[in-house]
Structure 1
């Protein structure tokens, strides 16, 4: 299912992406932002209270929502909508909740239905044309087989040569008890500044750094004036067997404390 917003922005429910076909820009939304956007698009302009949003976006999934989380993801949606040309996407009603702006158009794009009309019978080909088509098809199949073999061989050679360059996933235990997992080495990552910022992000989002809890963290700075840096953190609670049971995903654009 896809939602077309103002005839210019596409939200793909399947992969959770927000796309701007005119510029080919794509933003991958975190799971809470995906659920929040879907509720807004399906609301029909009705007022959505904060308690309702907490229940539908977080509580139903075994998570705990907060005003800070809600404001963060609303800000993320507004910012991306504005960049894609849709200003005033959501209206805030103080002490009440939010609602979709009445001037924003929403169109659901579903798969085309199969036609009930019978198709016309295919014309009968002459015998010579059938033989010619069969020879051509055989030639194409042989060519595709050779191409697939060459492609698989190339992929295997590339993987063998680049195995040593695969990123190494490392872990670091904070004094507070939780474990940070990254794909960068400790020499690159774990300065006092980074640990301080991770704990700050957890505190901003009311997430405890307890023993056994896993924090997956990464960031990168902007390389162009037209783009933003990205900061990503996933906070996961373990089950009794030690496997992650549920995760809160937090995403920032251009978080200055880290990217500077």
Structure 2
């Protein structure tokens, strides 16, 4: 659906593009949410409450709604259209109510799709000289249907062979990682047994403290850390480093985590 807004701009609701009337190429493009918000007001030009806008544009589409989000996208729309000398595309009527600016001329360029009922009544109107042509398709012959089934069978067989081949070369035996909880001052650390076998506990704790302090992370009750580093990637530093800062719960040892992963931590 396309709209001519104030004879200055063509808005295409299908992709959110804004095109100057004398141009064939889009001049700019609205974000998905901004375009959905504008299209809602174009379809509902009457005064409408903010709660209805939040429900129809955000909640009904599975998005988290808030007045802060609505204010942000209203501001973005107004700013975008102000670049084309169109002020206040959406206005605040009163506290809690909004409206598409009635002073802005808006022309719908595309007619809505004709419904089946309209098309049927149109064809049955006496004296109608513009009935849509009827296109008859030729049914496929038995030979043509056989060729189609043969091609489809070959394609399916090829895909199946490829899947089997990829699964065979990409399959690797999985080995579960055993984690050991170790106290370290006020911090609770969970380390892999492989990590603890490769380095002494003192050095492990010293390196953990250096990384944690570098990230400005404090130890708090109900939180735990997972720390891993490998010192074989480079000769004079610790190479790759992984640190996860997690919240723990009774029913879930890792409620949520902030993960940090980087190379060449220490020279």
TM-score category, normalised to shorter length:
0.3 to 0.5
Structure with bigger RCO (C-alpha 8 Å, 6+ apart)? 1
Question: Which structure's CA Rg is the greater one?
Answer: 2
